[in-house]
């Protein structure tokens, strides 16, 4: 599983002109499920995201997690995170999980985040979504469950 985690002041996702998910102070998490991902990958990614200490404490040091600041999560499934552009100019998505598998694993990822006591809202799987955010910092963190970076 590959994540792009953005610390936000607010974020929302709109489908067909209607807001379907939103978060105030917290994270916008773009999540890509890779072919072969298992529940071990999902648990690793969720624990990493839930435990990230990227919010400032009283000394303006990034020492606090989502739970510490009462943060929220807007999670959006995004297979394009797995686009491979090493060869040519058109991304290859061959390593992205098939939608049938990705949908269930993405839902499990959101449940794992909730299991860490977080409020999680989502976009709508396999739809065109308009995502809006105010990136706080900006702070953007990359996570890969296979630890490639």
> Model confidence over 115-131: pLDDT tens digits?
999 999 999 999 999 99
pLDDT for position 149: 75
Gap between the Cα atoms of 131 and 75, Å rounded: 11
With bands split at pLDDT 50, 70 and 90, how would you rate the model's confidence at 147?
A: confident
pLDDT for position 148: 82
pTM (two decimals): 0.96
Distance of CA 3 to the CA centre of its chain: 5
State the CATH class of domain 2-144: alpha beta
130-144 and 2-15 as β-strands: parallel, antiparallel, unpaired? antiparallel
pLDDT for position 50: 98
Above pLDDT 90, what percent of the chain? Answer: 98
Across 69-91, average pLDDT: 96
Q: From residue 16, how far is each of 19, 24, 84, 120 by CA, in Å?
A: 8, 21, 29, 21
18-23 and 2-15 as β-strands: parallel, antiparallel, unpaired? antiparallel
Which residue numbers are catalytic?
78-80
User: 114 Cβ partners below 8 Å, 6+ apart?
Assistant: 120
């Amino acid at each position: 599983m590959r994540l792009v985690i953005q610390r936000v002041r607010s974020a929302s996702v709109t489908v067909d002109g209607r807001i379907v998910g939103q978060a105030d102070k917290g994270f916008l998490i773009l999540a890509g499920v890779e072919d072969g991902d298992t529940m071990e990958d999902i648990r690793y990614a969720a624990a990493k995201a839930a435990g990230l200490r990227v919010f400032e404490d009283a000394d303006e040091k990034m020492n606090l997690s989502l739970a510490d600041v009462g943060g929220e999560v807007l999670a959006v499934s995004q297979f394009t995170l797995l686009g491979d552009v090493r060869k040519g100019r058109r991304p290859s998505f061959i390593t992205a999980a098939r939608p049938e598998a990705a949908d269930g694993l993405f839902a499990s990822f959101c449940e794992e985040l909730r299991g860490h006591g977080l409020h999680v809202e989502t976009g709508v799987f396999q739809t065109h979504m308009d995502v809006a955010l105010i990136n706080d910092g900006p702070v953007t963190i990359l996570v890969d469950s296979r630890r490639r970076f």
